[in-house]
Amino acid sequence: MIINIGSKNKVKINALKEAVKDYDFLKKAKINPITSDSGVYKQPKSLKETINGAVNRAKNAFLGCELSVGIEDGLFKVPETKSGYMNITACAIFDGKTIHLGLSSAFEYPSKVCKLVFDEGLDITQAFNKAGLTTNPKLGQAGGAVGILTKGRYKRIDYTKQAIVNALIHLDNKELY
């Protein structure tokens, strides 16, 4: 089985590789990273935009494979938060007919980071760098912002894998979906 992933980001690729090991029907799958356009702004600012980005990446990556995967991180409004927003990862798995969607847990960025994203149009890596929280220009390909905020207790690969596993619920329980 071939699974295309619409990304060249090593964190996303490795999260998919880790996730498929736990499924008998996917253990022998070949993961094929390809560039796939999300069709959304580089820093999604709503749940709808984040999900659309994942779905678009999955559909655009469906070429010569049995399954394709799209993963997108983005912000969405959440009441009672300090910044007004939380981050979430969406994973869309496309089988050529149906989208199977999973989401990660969510966490909040510092208010000054959200302000930079919304007021200056920066992506999260740029905002974290400008806010002085990191000097890593490739934060999204490392531990991610969540890795910084949890002081390494939880990393981007962890919540990316969580979204993938949640999307795989559908394929692992076809009789229920």
Beta strands in the chain, from DSSP E residues, in sequence order: 2-5, 30-33, 67-77, 85-94, 99-103
Q: What is the value of pTM for the model shown?
A: 0.94
| Angle (CA) 126 128 51, round 5° | 75
- What is the pLDDT, as a whole number, of residue 27? 87
Two tokens, residue 116:
């930079």
Write the single-letter amino acid at 78.
V
Q: pLDDT digit string (tens) for 20-38?
A: 999 999 989 999 999 999 9
How many helices (H) and strands (E) would you count in the chain?
Answer: 6, 5
As a whole number of angstroms, the distance between CA 116 and CA 119 comes to: 5
What mean pLDDT comes out for the span 90-102?
98
As a whole number of angstroms, the distance between CA 38 and CA 164 comes to: 17
Instruction: Evaluate whether 147 touches 154 at the Cβ level (below 8 Å).
Output: yes
List domains and CATH numbers for the chain. Answer: 2-107+156-176 (3.90.950.10)
- What is the pLDDT, as a whole number, of residue 28? 92
Q: From residue 16, give the alpha-carbon distance in Å to each of 3, 9, 38, 69.
A: 9, 11, 18, 9
Q: At residue 74, does pLDDT exceed 90?
A: yes
Half-sphere exposure of 169 (CA within 13 A, CB side): 12
69 by DSSP, 3-state: which? Answer: strand
- What is the pLDDT, as a whole number, of residue 24? 95
